[in-house]
Structure 1
Amino acid sequence: MAQVFKWLVRIAGGMILLGLIALLGVYFLLSRSLPDYSKDLDVIGILEPVEIVRDNANVPHIFGTNDPDTFYGLGYAHAQDRLWQMVMMRRTVQGRLSEVFGPRTVEIDKILRRFDLYTLAQRSVEAQDTQTLAALRAYSAGVNARLKEINESALGRGAPEMFLFNNPVAPWTPADSIAIVKLMAVQLSAHLEEEVLYAHAALELDDADRLADIMPLAPGTGIAALPDYASLFPEGTQFAHSTGPGLPDHPLSPFKKRAFAGASNAWAAAPKRSASGGTLLANDPHLGLTAPAIWYLARLELQTGGVIGATIPGVPIVMAGRSADLGWGVTSSYLDDQDLFIERLNPDNPQEYLTPDGYKPFRTESTIIRIADNAPITLTLRWTENGPVLPGSHYNLADVTPPGHVASLSWTALSDSDTTLSSAMALMRAASVDEALAAGEGYIAPSQNLTLVDQSTIAMKTIGAMPRRDADHETRGRYPSRGWEDTNRWQGTLAYSANPEFTAPAGGLLGNTNNKTVDRPFPNHVSYKWGDTQRVFRWRRLMQNREVHTRDSFIEAQLDTVSFTARSLLPLIGKDLWFTGEAAPEGTPERQRQRALTLLSEWNGEMNEHLPEPLIYAAWLRELMHRLIVDDLGPLADEFTHPDPVFIERVYRDIDGASAWCDIRQSTVQETCSDLARISLDAALIWIDERYGSALESLRWGDAHQATHDHQVLGEVPLLKYFVNIRQSTSGGDNTLLRGRTRGQGPDPFHNVHGAGYRGVYDFADPDSSVFITATGQSGHFLSRHYDDMAQLWRRGEYIPMSLDADLARAASVGITRLTPAAP
């Protein structure tokens, strides 16, 4: 027996040893792709030596004697730290994810092939100006220099993910960078889904006033009545009722629900409103949280001077940042840059569609989608004069497309002479607000609000092509229209001067929280959908509370967690519930409700991660929103994943009879809005009890509101997910300036999945005191200490210096890379 035990110990020990050896082997292979930041390298493609100095936060400061060489250095640095991310974005926009991930991503590839964005990007290369084309070519050469180094030096295939998904990496080209900008336009576009949802809701509801409730316009002057959607088609037309998700289910999908189609904050102060006498600018663009973050910090030394800020790997542009003379920030403008068209097929020949001039054949093309470990599929692409034909499954388009019809899309991003990168390049070189405003003219998509400051002036301008629509457009672009009607079709784009602009406001302050910026009648309306109706009120309060502002007061506003929405809605929905009746016995639902109401009555609306009230409030509003709409909308209610404050206010103020939503149709009793508020609060407390326990005072919002910086590919892999995902308890919420947009559905509806991946605050009284931060870290390699070294700083609301001082960068550098022209 002793002998058997001895052999079992030996076998177990041997297996443990072999496991350790295997683990060390895997670590060795993965660590081979960790970049060495201190080295000298001879490369082909530069004229003079390039120096990449990485400061102690691993922000590369790139010094070249000419601009192309500097962009070459940026391409090399991007590929060192974010190669996998760059390759995945390129594969996504090309519609080639299935070559790596198999059938799960086929639907993503199909839709992106129909958009044909990569072909449009290739055609747009020659539309760039000379300087931009030289920068794109040099940047591509820098990326390819890193690829060459990886291949020749066996540097672990460049990234850990390459071991799991060993597909060849093609050389980088200028079209790849243009295509990634177009991919960002996909992520930031909400109007396609908005049009489908509006039409679908119009079909479900028989009262136009109720449609105005559930799909409300931002407060302000309304528009003339629109025709009923069903009336656009012959009487008796039947529409489908799909049950599908409407979007591809994969973390790499660029198609986002309208609740996550971009957001952001930016505000600026003129010298007269600044304590230091210099202009101030704060900016925090909001996107889906991932690990690594989409943003990458960098400093470029150009012939026009140093530029520092946030870049996107794959694109040689500082998207948000500053030079010595100019600061710029971006927010989603929500410009109405998409229109859906319902195209009538020829009943005698389905290969033709109706136009104002009669039936015409679709423009068609075949494309092959290769699928890992599966047979390839051939997809026939079709285009009308209005744009590409989309499948009925995309955003559940089939629900609003009558039989014998298909849907097509007009969209400004579908330009084959897209000069957005040339415009952004000119912006980086601008030395004043006037020059920056002029640079924005060539910007096509995605549309942004550009906030600008120089030494003395502040301004904001909407950049991006604005569609020119006929004043007699039957749906005014708010929901799908008939593609064969000439008055519905786009008539080119408006002049750049038509884009909203605000320069040197009298009050010395301006800002944007994705709120409604102008109130212009159609067809110069800019948008029917805006990204914020709430945060702007809190921003206005913070700005007006001070006569003058400082860098620190701008940081304070950027990190503010007080919810104007909570302060305005809670007294409204709970007005008949506060302090009513006698104290209920312990252990009863009534007693629990009273305890919750007592907590909320003493709460100031601060969505602090350590408090219980934000969780009670958020759960209450979620239950209330669902109960208000589910009996009227049925399955369509699932599309409204977040409480809409404007809708709830309309209901509880009974605007145009909106309180009708409170009555549950299926019940005999006629419920009041107070009844529904009470029922919803009780249901919310039951959900909280099942999930977090009944001790309300011990609840923490941060337990539910965790930031989910998840790896888009490895984030769901058992065990590995604990190494690649970054999870943090966070403050803020859907409608706070420190915006932490919640998931809205699923088992963890309050997970923080969308927020400020980048924050920057620029002070032009002392530019080198400016600060910035990203949500994770500079490296995309999960074994690197720079993978998540900024994450805790970001969570705590801290920043790192944003300095153009070269000596400061060298003083505490983590490495210096010197690129030298290789001998002929």
Structure 2
Amino acid sequence: MRTLKRIGVFLLVVITLLIVVGGIFAYTLQPDYSGEKELTDLTNEVNVFYDEYGIPHIYGETEKDAFRTLGYVHAQDRLWQMELLRRIASGGLSEVFGADLIGTDKFFLSLGIADASKVTAANADENNEGVVLAKAYLDGINQFIKEGPTPVEFYLTGIDKKEFVLEDMYNTIGYMAFSFAMAHKTDPLLTTIYTKLGPEYLNDLHVGSSIDTEWIKNYNPTATDTIQNNLTASVNKALGALDIPLFEGSNSWVIAPEKTKNGKVIFANDPHIGFAQPSVWFEAHIETPTYSKYGYHIAGIPFPLLGHNRKVAYGLTMFENDDVDFYFEENNPANENQYLSENGYVDYEIITKSFKVKDSSEVEFTYKKSNHGPILNGIADQLQGERPIAMSWLYTQMDNKVIDALFGLSHSNDLKEFKKALPKIHAPGLNIMYGDSEGNVAWFATAQLYNIPDSVNTKLIFEVGEGLPVEKEWIPFNKNPQAINPPSNYVYSANNQPDSIAGMLYPGYYLPENRGKRIVQLLEPKNDWDLDTASDMITDVISSVDPEIVTNLSQYIDVSLLSENGLKAIDSLKMWTGDYKLSSIEATIYNRWAYYFLENTFEDELEEDLFNQFISTHFVKRLIAPLSKDEESVWLDDVNTADIQENITNIVNTSFMDAVASLEKDFGNDMSNWKWEKVHSIEHPHPIGQIASLRSFFNVGPFPVHGAREVINNMAFSYDKTGFYKTTSGPSTRRIIDFSDVENSISILPTGQSGNPLSKHYRDQAEMFVKGEFRKMMMNKADIQKSKEILTFKPKD
């Protein structure tokens, strides 16, 4: 017995020591928010005041000192995120996560982002002010890599820390640019439908620009081959291989003084990005004698994409223009390394790449490139087929001046300076929103646009010898969609259809009018906007379109076919205002019904795999409303029932009964249990959180959440057979700047400021975000200096 006691005491001591050692180790990995550090090449002392949410307020004597410091503090909270983002475009994911990511690395290497980044970095002007500050920022990151603690993810994946260079910055921007594009998810799918089923099926999908929808108005007072299906699946797999943020949509509106209570501009913006942990934005406030900005930064990028000071505010939404095209190529029958061009058969460019794979040998692969772009066949295992398909992407075909543009935007202090930077953004397409203390409001669609003849359908893969020419006819930037101080006294963007330019509605993958329509409904009649009412608007959960769809579908319901719950459900839906609060029962019923309506309409023709790709696209969101009143659609007939001609009445009734039956199965016969909170949730996934045992440590959530897809509080999801809606993207921040009281402007992040799971700021905003709450974006120096956590950087001897 005494021996057992001794063993027990020994084990207790060992366990206690392990806990103590583990605690000490964990403590050493946390970011430092106070104390003193020395920073190489610093010319003067820099003070960093951390507020209660871990946001650094950086005060320096020079911009170089401030951006060098920004690099260090950004890295100590987000180094793992920086590492992951720079690896995507350069084919570095397999080295971290193993053979499952080989297809993703091949795909991104073939896009040519890394090659373009290398050229851009090599040609960078060392005396360019933006480059100088960017390199100072990188120096700060690299000093943290040398001297700071190693984030826990590096230990778990077994990779070494390596210094960052200018090329990495462009690779991160390139990945983000590609994640904006929708053509790679849509064009091959539509081509498959066109080839498999015929043009009449494509016509009934309403994929083109529409004159019957809410447009963003211009105002400028100064001026089928099976490979196609596999291509869509392959791109979706490449982009979704890890839990990394993808840019999806966004809202923004800027209200002129004539419509505000205090007679000053109010600016609101909430970019919609895929939810992930860490969240995409790192907030930082910098003050020097020549620079003042409260900004939102992407990991590894020194200049904020969103920002404000006391003079100007700016933000962005996705333009959704089409800047990716696909082309069939025709091989020379006598030489598979040649393709048919305007000048006869010419040689493909043959490109060989290699990359490292964790716990394996290096992978080498070769792909071909035509004058249109890389041939995607064979790059990923899914892409096997007879006809070569080339992808043409504008981003890699022009000089990259995006860093110059971001520098210019972040350093502008009035509308004239701001406008000078905009033409430097050739891709991705962005709606840049602007407001200032002088009362100006503006919206600019920034992208290098070009003329597209009416006869050219950019939504399909071009046949050989057809499509857009390699040498395009560029449209001057001042002809782009835009509005400056319009008579409406507001500007807005919700990724919906922009007004016409150069005699055409510019082709794109615009989101439905739902959010745009609701924004206009709220803005138009009201002329006394303030911070509180703008806050209510940015968290609004009312759909402007879904009740109309219910009305359209309800007219076809045969009540004699319905069960008791079915009768209650349809009566309740007819009274629905379109709200997506957690307590809403109608929201749950409507979305089940909408899914079955789509499934029963389209799955018979498309079959399961293609249908699942189909319902994940943007254009399906636009399709539901017109389809709900289209009695003549060719899709309504079930091709599997040759002796019966189905119509919209059959589809609507079958779908509604399917919805009610599925809800009874999941939640019972008591309709009070069919609340939105039971089916709609949000979780912020970390790549390592895919390991079940580590999920609760790295992931944040899940939480039931208000909102839905295509309401202003856009908590987006894709439909599937489960009937449960796991939010995949939504507001990456909610920001409201009131120029009548800039220092009390408000914001929120989805999880927290830090990407370090050991930091107290890893998840401290998550519940506030779900509840629609805000915190102050501090700019008052007297208030900031009251901070209890001050990190001082001194010049290193």
Using structure 2 for the length normalisation, give the TM-score: 0.92
- Which residue in 2 is equivalent to 1:639? 613
- Which residue in 2 is equivalent to 1:214? 205
Distance of 1:662 and 1:485 partners within structure 2:
32
SS in 2 for 1:390: coil
Aligned-residue offset at 1:293: 0.5
Q: Which residue of 348, 359, 381 corresponds with 1:373?
A: 359
Aligned-residue offset at 1:16: 6.9
Judging changes above 3 Å, is the alpha-carbon distance between structure 1 residues 351 and 139 closer, same or farther for their aligned structure 2 residues? Answer: same
Aligned-residue offset at 1:285: 0.2
Distance of 1:755 and 1:96 partners within structure 2:
27
SS in 2 for 1:714: helix
- Which residue in 2 is equivalent to 1:122? 118
SS in 2 for 1:214: coil
- Whether 1:534 aligns to 2:510 is no
Q: Is the Cα–Cα contact under 8 Å of residues 307 and 315 in structure 2 kept in the other structure? A: yes
Q: Is the Cα–Cα contact under 8 Å of residues 104 and 250 in structure 1 kept in the other structure? A: no
- Which residue in 1 is equivalent to 2:743? 768
Q: Which residue of 263, 269, 290 corresponds with 2:255?
A: 269
Q: Which residue of 545, 551, 559 corresponds with 1:565?
A: 545
Distance of 2:567 and 2:3 partners within structure 1:
66
Judging changes above 3 Å, is the alpha-carbon distance between structure 1 residues 216 and 368 closer, same or farther for their aligned structure 2 residues? Answer: closer
Q: Is the Cα–Cα contact under 8 Å of residues 68 and 135 in structure 1 kept in the other structure? A: yes
SS in 2 for 1:654: coil
Amino acid at match of 2:413: A
* Structure 2: gaps (5+ residues): 214-223
Q: Is the Cα–Cα contact under 8 Å of residues 356 and 486 in structure 1 kept in the other structure? A: no
Distance of 1:721 and 1:8 partners within structure 2:
37
Distance of 1:723 and 1:435 partners within structure 2:
45
Amino acid at match of 1:540: V
Amino acid at match of 1:177: M
- Which residue in 2 is equivalent to 1:31? 27
Q: Which residue of 271, 275, 281 corresponds with 1:289?
A: 275
Distance of 1:729 and 1:30 partners within structure 2:
31
Q: Which residue of 379, 390, 393 corresponds with 2:376?
A: 390
- Whether 1:360 aligns to 2:346 is yes
Aligned-residue offset at 1:723: 2.0
- Whether 1:64 aligns to 2:60 is yes
Distance of 1:533 and 1:212 partners within structure 2:
19
Q: Which moves more between the two structures, 427-436 or 26-35? A: 26-35
- Whether 1:757 aligns to 2:732 is yes
- Which residue in 1 is equivalent to 2:763? 788
- Which residue in 2 is equivalent to 1:199? 191
Aligned-residue offset at 1:326: 0.6
- Which residue in 2 is equivalent to 1:146? 144
- Which residue in 1 is equivalent to 2:219? none
Judging changes above 3 Å, is the alpha-carbon distance between structure 1 residues 15 and 706 closer, same or farther for their aligned structure 2 residues? Answer: farther
Q: Which moves more between the two structures, 265-274 or 41-50? A: 41-50
| Aligned residue runs from structure 1 range 720-735, under 5 A | 720-726=694-700, 727-735=702-710
Deviations 1:88-143 (A, max 9, x none): 11111211111111101111110111113123112213346711110111000000
Aligned-residue offset at 1:520: 4.2
Distance of 1:193 and 1:79 partners within structure 2:
33
- Which residue in 1 is equivalent to 2:530? 550
Aligned-residue offset at 1:300: 1.5
Q: Which moves more between the two structures, 687-696 or 628-637? A: 687-696
Aligned-residue offset at 1:242: 4.9
- Whether 1:246 aligns to 2:228 is no
Judging changes above 3 Å, is the alpha-carbon distance between structure 1 residues 765 and 518 closer, same or farther for their aligned structure 2 residues? Answer: same
Deviations 1:736-775 (A, max 9, x none): 1000001433646411110001110011122112111111
- Which residue in 2 is equivalent to 1:338? 324
Aligned-residue offset at 1:686: 2.6
- Which residue in 2 is equivalent to 1:47? 43
SS in 1 for 2:748: strand
Q: Is the Cα–Cα contact under 8 Å of residues 304 and 429 in structure 1 kept in the other structure? A: no
Aligned-residue offset at 1:255: 11
- Whether 1:77 aligns to 2:73 is yes
Q: Which moves more between the two structures, 160-169 or 137-146? A: 160-169
Aligned-residue offset at 1:303: 4.4
- Which residue in 2 is equivalent to 1:501? 482
Distance of 2:299 and 2:740 partners within structure 1:
31
Judging changes above 3 Å, is the alpha-carbon distance between structure 1 residues 791 and 560 closer, same or farther for their aligned structure 2 residues? Answer: same
SS in 2 for 1:531: coil
- Which residue in 1 is equivalent to 2:655? 680
Judging changes above 3 Å, is the alpha-carbon distance between structure 1 residues 396 and 512 closer, same or farther for their aligned structure 2 residues? Answer: farther
Judging changes above 3 Å, is the alpha-carbon distance between structure 1 residues 255 and 190 closer, same or farther for their aligned structure 2 residues? Answer: farther
Aligned-residue offset at 1:465: 2.0
SS in 2 for 1:706: strand
Judging changes above 3 Å, is the alpha-carbon distance between structure 1 residues 390 and 498 closer, same or farther for their aligned structure 2 residues? Answer: farther
SS in 2 for 1:741: coil
Aligned-residue offset at 1:9: 8.3
Judging changes above 3 Å, is the alpha-carbon distance between structure 1 residues 358 and 800 closer, same or farther for their aligned structure 2 residues? Answer: same
Amino acid at match of 1:50: V
Aligned-residue offset at 1:625: 0.7
Amino acid at match of 1:189: A
Aligned-residue offset at 1:577: 2.8
Q: Is the Cα–Cα contact under 8 Å of residues 122 and 175 in structure 1 kept in the other structure? A: yes
Judging changes above 3 Å, is the alpha-carbon distance between structure 1 residues 430 and 784 closer, same or farther for their aligned structure 2 residues? Answer: same
| Aligned residue runs from structure 1 range 404-419, under 5 A | 405-415=387-397, 417-419=399-401
Amino acid at match of 1:214: L
Distance of 1:238 and 1:245 partners within structure 2:
11
- Whether 1:648 aligns to 2:656 is no
Q: Is the Cα–Cα contact under 8 Å of residues 187 and 256 in structure 1 kept in the other structure? A: no
Q: Which residue of 450, 454, 460 corresponds with 1:479?
A: 460
Q: Is the Cα–Cα contact under 8 Å of residues 705 and 729 in structure 1 kept in the other structure? A: yes
Q: Is the Cα–Cα contact under 8 Å of residues 53 and 816 in structure 1 kept in the other structure? A: yes
Aligned-residue offset at 1:393: 7.0
SS in 1 for 2:683: strand
SS in 1 for 2:74: helix
Amino acid at match of 1:342: F
Judging changes above 3 Å, is the alpha-carbon distance between structure 1 residues 201 and 13 closer, same or farther for their aligned structure 2 residues? Answer: farther
Judging changes above 3 Å, is the alpha-carbon distance between structure 1 residues 244 and 238 closer, same or farther for their aligned structure 2 residues? Answer: closer
Distance of 2:788 and 2:381 partners within structure 1:
47
| Aligned residue runs from structure 1 range 601-616, under 5 A | 601-616=574-589
Aligned-residue offset at 1:239: 6.9
Q: Which residue of 438, 441, 453 corresponds with 1:458?
A: 441
Judging changes above 3 Å, is the alpha-carbon distance between structure 1 residues 248 and 453 closer, same or farther for their aligned structure 2 residues? Answer: closer
SS in 1 for 2:416: helix
Judging changes above 3 Å, is the alpha-carbon distance between structure 1 residues 487 and 370 closer, same or farther for their aligned structure 2 residues? Answer: closer
Distance of 2:396 and 2:790 partners within structure 1:
41
Distance of 2:488 and 2:721 partners within structure 1:
45
Q: Is the Cα–Cα contact under 8 Å of residues 512 and 622 in structure 2 kept in the other structure? A: no
Using structure 1 for the length normalisation, give the TM-score: 0.89
Distance of 2:90 and 2:231 partners within structure 1:
28
Q: Is the Cα–Cα contact under 8 Å of residues 247 and 395 in structure 1 kept in the other structure? A: no
Aligned length: 779
SS in 1 for 2:330: strand
Aligned-residue offset at 1:461: 0.4
Judging changes above 3 Å, is the alpha-carbon distance between structure 1 residues 596 and 24 closer, same or farther for their aligned structure 2 residues? Answer: farther
Amino acid at match of 2:479: A
Judging changes above 3 Å, is the alpha-carbon distance between structure 1 residues 576 and 198 closer, same or farther for their aligned structure 2 residues? Answer: closer
Aligned-residue offset at 1:574: 1.4
Distance of 1:278 and 1:383 partners within structure 2:
53
Amino acid at match of 1:322: H
- Which residue in 1 is equivalent to 2:774? 799
Q: Is the Cα–Cα contact under 8 Å of residues 243 and 685 in structure 2 kept in the other structure? A: no
Distance of 1:753 and 1:300 partners within structure 2:
32
Q: Is the Cα–Cα contact under 8 Å of residues 103 and 380 in structure 2 kept in the other structure? A: no
Amino acid at match of 1:644: V
Q: Is the Cα–Cα contact under 8 Å of residues 99 and 372 in structure 1 kept in the other structure? A: yes
SS in 1 for 2:365: strand
Aligned-residue offset at 1:253: 3.9
Judging changes above 3 Å, is the alpha-carbon distance between structure 1 residues 116 and 242 closer, same or farther for their aligned structure 2 residues? Answer: closer
* Structure 1: gaps (5+ residues): 223-229, 231-236
